[in-house]
A and B are shown apart, each in its own frame.
Chain A
Amino acid sequence: MAQRTVAPFGPQHPVLPEPIQLQITYEDEKVVDVAPALGYGHRGIEKACEINEYPKNIHLIERICGICSCIHGISYCETVERLWPMEVPPRAKYLRVIYSELSRIHSHLLWLGLLCDALGFESMFMQFWRIRERVLDLLEMTSGTRVTHSVSVVGGVRRDIDDEQEKIIIKEIQEARKEAEALINVLATDPTVKARTVGKGVLTKEQAILLGTNGPHLRASGVKEDCRMLGMQVYDELGFEPIVETAGDSYARALVRARETLQAIDLILEAFSKMPKGEIFERPKGRPPANEVSYRAEQCRGECFYYAKGNGTQYLDRFRVRTPTFSNIPSLLVMLPGSELADVPIIVLSIDPCISCTER
């Protein structure tokens, strides 16, 4: 019998930009057991939310994560609005969808780039990030900054997109779509990429449901579930249909994210064609009443759950976030055992881990 060795993978590791540790037990080259350790990036953001007045929290919540900052901010506002409950103007709803989808494009392109980087496909990594740069420029043009956009406020959005900006966005994302399609075609057909991803880290439909995975990770295992289907924002008016793959391996997860990138571009174009003119902000009436609400939003990485409890003052009693990566980490315990040691980075990456989100 081969000797068993335990190796730490992380918290500082070249392929992992974020601090998670996996204690990997392996025999020869085969992984037999894995134990994740979390807690390296805790910053106490949830507690800090109770100290701040509720409008100030938007800027704090956006700093949970650099990549999903926009959707975190928007979802915080949607959650707090449910305490009254109040309606935001229709144009604001569309603008929120446009900002969310723009940030989904840049998140997925970032992930596709990181996947190529983990495979050693450096030139492709640069190509994906080059398209992402266009989207970041669009976000800077409309919201003012590249990363922490702070576009959403309780009651609407802060910045409108005027006609001139709308034309630029439509032109740029159509060009980005063409470029992304060409690159995704290469990624999907490349034999080296396929050799490293097809059949690696398989998670069946039953296991995915049992382990409570969500987001693109769940949809790659053949489950048609997406929070955008719930009709909480205006996605139902845009004819949204979730993207599903059935194989459940790393390749399927890459394809789901690649196709979602293109879908997000289509959703933005659709949203621009249907967006009504009008007000973008409505002042909330008084302070948030004593009430408790929950809200689910589809983030770039999966389903994010928010809970808020108001007490009739400017402060919230409790604000809780459960992020997608937190529910996706248990699936690693099923996917990793039995795989080659060399495939571990790609399988870990294929759940799109965001540890700074998870630990807040």
Chain B
Amino acid sequence: MPVMLPTVLRNLFGGPATRMYPVEVREPFAGARGHIEFNDDNCILCGSCARNCPAAAIEIDKEKNQLVFYPARCIICYVCAEVCKKDAIVRVDKWRAPYYTKPVEVHVAKAKKRKKKE
């Protein structure tokens, strides 16, 4: 078919369209939503991330002074990072590695503790 010829020729000389994936990994875009990490030094345990999380992936335990994060529930919407006023939630553009068992992260809010001592 002559109509197909330009497409055929472009593909013949154009090189592969795919990447050698595990060897060659594309750098994520600057604003890509990869996953979140917690900066415990800044956290004052205000709980606004837990209140705004649509997936209930963050729990606050005020008695034990800790924040519990369930990465397997997280939908990476970054709502928590937007509402956090203390920059305690860090946006990382790389994907989290896959896991066999669902991890549970326990973070101790250090900024809160220091305030009490003072």
Binding site for B on A (CB under 8 A): 52, 55-60, 127, 130, 137, 140-142, 144-145, 148, 150, 158-159, 182-183, 185-186, 189-190
Q: Say which one of B37-45, B70-78, B98-106 lies at the interface with A.
A: B70-78
| Chain B neighbourhood of A55, CB < 8 A | 52, 54
The answer to whether B107 has its CB under 8 Å from any CB of chain A is: no
Q: List the 9 closest pairs (A to B, CB-CB), nearest first.
A: A144-B33, A56-B54, A59-B54, A141-B29, A150-B77, A186-B4, A186-B3, A145-B33, A130-B17
| Chain A neighbourhood of B30, CB < 8 A | 141
- The answer on a CB contact under 8 Å between A145 and B76 is yes
Binary interface profile of B, 13-28, with partner A (CB < 8 Å = 1, else 0)? Answer: 0000100000000000
CB distance from B29 to the nearest CB of A (A): 4
Give the complex CA separation of A148 and B4 in angstroms.
35
Nearest B-chain residue to A148, judged by Cβ: B75
- The answer on a CB contact under 8 Å between B6 and A144 is no
- Between-chain CB contacts (< 8 Å), 9 pairs: A52-B54, A59-B79, A60-B54, A141-B29, A144-B33, A145-B32, A145-B76, A182-B7, A190-B1
Give the complex CA separation of A305 and B33 in angstroms.
30
| Chain A neighbourhood of B33, CB < 8 A | 144-145
Tally of A-B Cβ pairs under 8 angstroms: 48
| Chain B neighbourhood of A130, CB < 8 A | 17
The answer to whether B55 has its CB under 8 Å from any CB of chain A is: yes
Nearest B-chain residue to A153, judged by Cβ: B79
- The answer on a CB contact under 8 Å between B31 and A127 is no
Give the complex CA separation of A16 and B14 in angstroms.
32
Nearest B-chain residue to A141, judged by Cβ: B29
| Chain B neighbourhood of A182, CB < 8 A | 6-7
- The answer on a CB contact under 8 Å between A159 and B54 is no
Majority SS at the chain B contact face: loop
- The answer on a CB contact under 8 Å between A140 and B32 is yes
| Chain A neighbourhood of B1, CB < 8 A | 186, 189-190
Majority SS at the chain A contact face: helix
Give the complex CA separation of A189 and B54 in angstroms.
48
How many chain B residues touch A (CB < 8 A): the figure is 21
- The answer on a CB contact under 8 Å between A159 and B31 is yes
Give the complex CA separation of A57 and B52 in angstroms.
11
- The answer on a CB contact under 8 Å between B77 and A59 is yes
- The answer on a CB contact under 8 Å between B31 and A183 is no
Binary interface profile of B, 60-78, with partner A (CB < 8 Å = 1, else 0)? Answer: 0000000000000001111
Give the complex CA separation of A144 and B34 in angstroms.
8
- The answer on a CB contact under 8 Å between A59 and B55 is yes
- The answer on a CB contact under 8 Å between B4 and A140 is no
Give the complex CA separation of A150 and B52 in angstroms.
14
Give the complex CA separation of A60 and B79 in angstroms.
13
- The answer on a CB contact under 8 Å between B7 and A127 is yes
| Chain A neighbourhood of B11, CB < 8 A | 127
Give the complex CA separation of A137 and B19 in angstroms.
14
- The answer on a CB contact under 8 Å between B77 and A140 is no
CB distance from B32 to the nearest CB of A (A): 5
| Chain A neighbourhood of B54, CB < 8 A | 52, 55-60
CB distance from B73 to the nearest CB of A (A): 12
| Chain A neighbourhood of B4, CB < 8 A | 186
CB distance from B75 to the nearest CB of A (A): 6
CB distance from A253 to the nearest CB of B (A): 21
- The answer on a CB contact under 8 Å between A140 and B3 is no
CB distance from B8 to the nearest CB of A (A): 9
CB distance from B93 to the nearest CB of A (A): 9
CB distance from A28 to the nearest CB of B (A): 33
| Chain B neighbourhood of A142, CB < 8 A | 31
Contact A144 B78, CB 8 Å, known A59-B54, A59-B55, A130-B17:
yes
Give the complex CA separation of A164 and B54 in angstroms.
31
Q: Of A145, A150, A183, which one neighbours B7 at CB under 8 angstroms?
A: A183
